């Protein structure tokens, strides 16, 4: 079974900076946005000190939630990159979206392994036209395949107008956008920044834009599924969630399992997130193959839907 992995941790390269987008996220994005220009122009000695926060506050709370991130753990594998690429091919992963990498690292991967990776240009909505110009350069010159935006990192919902220039450019470039669509565990920002309801307004305003709701909209799975059914160019992916739980009664994924096997079977993509969940790729693929789905639907989830969305066939 061929697989396109929507969230694949990649070994660090000696030439890469290894800095992840999440690591660059502000400790409190809301406070940064509300800082007035005159405040920023004050001399350093006139500025008040930021409040002292307890250990584990903000993004650091992810270390408590995910065992793979405890004590600052790195979810990226330590394997040599060439050996890792061979491993992916051996288990049937024909393409993968690198996760936890900078855009410059992804550009190197696309240069060295153009047929193995799908480039997701992660751009902040807070960067204005600078971000729009970066997106165009990444796509036209470095062959990136898609735009990625994150309410978790930026601290603003996907429907915020500051993302709209990026969405318009994505339509012009004819590329999809993957949007963070899930509850977040960072305790210094609202938990529902990634609620699927924000995708509704984006899809209304940009009917030509192909959208992927990352992380499946959990815990608002019913709303995510309903919106995917409602909007013809809206999809979802299952990143950060193990397939063995999707089919469990009471897990909250029942509506996805029902409609994902029928009415929206062409709109579900799979993210294995092996580094995050700490399991081998083979195990995670077998969990998808064991789901109570039609065989043709399993092939769509694991490969065909993503291949169509990214224009690979």
pLDDT winner (highest mean) among 13-17, 47-51, 80-84: 80-84
In whole angstroms, what is the distance from residue 271 CA to residue 301 CA? 10
CB atoms within 10 A of CB 188: 18
Q: What is the mean pLDDT of residues 85-98?
A: 98
In whole angstroms, what is the distance from residue 6 CA to residue 288 CA? 14
pLDDT value at residue 73:
65
Distance, first Cα to last Cα, the chain: 16
What is 3-23+67-309's CATH topology?
TIM Barrel (3.20.20)
Q: Is 156 left (phi over 0), alpha (psi -120 to 50) or beta?
A: beta
Q: What is the mean pLDDT of residues 253-281?
A: 97
Q: Which residue in this structure is represented by tokens 């309410």?
A: 151
Cα 186 to chain centroid distance, Å, stands at 16
Q: What is the mean pLDDT of residues 172-179?
A: 98
Q: What is the DSSP string of 150-209?
A: -HHHHSS-TTSGGGHHHHHHHHHHT--EEEE-S----TTS-TTTT-THHHHHHHHH-TT-
Give yes or no for residue 32 having a pLDDT over 70.
Answer: no
Beta strands in 181-280 (DSSP E): 211-214, 234-237, 268-269
In whole angstroms, what is the distance from residue 197 CA to residue 195 CA? 5
CB atoms within 10 A of CB 230: 12
In whole angstroms, what is the distance from residue 136 CA to residue 302 CA? 29
Higher pLDDT, 130 or 69: 130
Tokens of 60: 């650091």
CA dist list (Å): 83 to 86, 90, 113, 179: 5, 10, 13, 30
Q: What is the mean pLDDT of residues 89-118?
A: 97
Higher pLDDT, 21 or 146: 146
In whole angstroms, what is the distance from residue 182 CA to residue 195 CA? 6
Higher pLDDT, 214 or 51: 214
Residues 243, 284 contacting (CB under 8 angstroms): yes
Q: How confident is the model at residue 16 (pLDDT cuts 50, 70, 90)?
A: very low
CA dist list (Å): 35 to 24, 42, 84: 18, 11, 44
Mean per-residue pLDDT of the chain: 91
Q: What is the pTM of this model?
A: 0.88
Q: What is the mean pLDDT of residues 154-168?
A: 98
Tokens of 208: 């030509």
Q: What is the DSSP string of 57-105?
A: -GGGGHHHH-GGGGGG---S--S-HHHHHHHHHHHTEEEEEEES--HHH
Higher pLDDT, 55 or 307: 307
In whole angstroms, what is the distance from residue 117 CA to residue 4 CA? 9
Q: Report the helix count and the strand count for the chain, using DSSP H and E.
A: 16, 8
Cα–Cα nearest to 102, from 121, 116, 83: 121
């Amino acid at each position: 079974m061929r697989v396109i992995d929507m969230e694949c941790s990649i070994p660090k390269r000696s030439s890469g900076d290894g800095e992840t987008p999440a690591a660059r996220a502000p400790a409190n994005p809301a406070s940064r946005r509300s800082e007035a220009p005159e405040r920023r122009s004050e001399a350093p000695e006139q500025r008040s000190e930021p409040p002292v926060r307890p250990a584990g506050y903000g993004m650091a709370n992810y270390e408590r939630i995910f065992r793979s991130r405890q004590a600052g753990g790195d979810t990226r594998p330590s394997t040599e990159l060439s050996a890792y690429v061979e491993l992916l091919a051996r288990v049937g992963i024909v393409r993968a979206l690198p996760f936890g990498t900078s855009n410059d690292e992804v550009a190197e991967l696309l240069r060295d392994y153009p047929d193995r990776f799908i480039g997701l240009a992660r751009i902040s909505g807070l960067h204005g036209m600078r971000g729009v110009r970066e997106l165009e350069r990444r796509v036209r010159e470095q062959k990136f395949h898609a735009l990625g935006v994150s309410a978790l990192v930026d601290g603003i919902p996907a429907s915020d107008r500051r993302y709209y220039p990026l969405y318009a450019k994505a339509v012009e470039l004819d590329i999809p956008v993957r949007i963070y669509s899930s509850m977040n565990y960072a305790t210094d920002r609202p938990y529902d920044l990634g609620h699927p309801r924000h995708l509704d307004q984006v899809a209304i305003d940009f009917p030509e834009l192909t959208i992927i709701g990352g992380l499946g909209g959990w815990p608002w799975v019913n709303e995510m599924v309903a919106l995917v059914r409602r909007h013809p160019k809206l999809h979802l992916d299952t990143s950060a969630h193990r397939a063995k739980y999707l089919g469990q009664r009471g897990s909250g994924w029942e509506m996805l399992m029902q409609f994902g096997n029928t009415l929206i079977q062409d709109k579900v993509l799979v993210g294995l997130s092996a580094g995050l969940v700490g399991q081998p790729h083979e195990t995670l693929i077998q969990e998808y193959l064991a789901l109570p789905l039609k065989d043709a639907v399993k092939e769509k989830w694991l490969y065909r839907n993503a291949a169509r969305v990214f224009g690979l066939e």
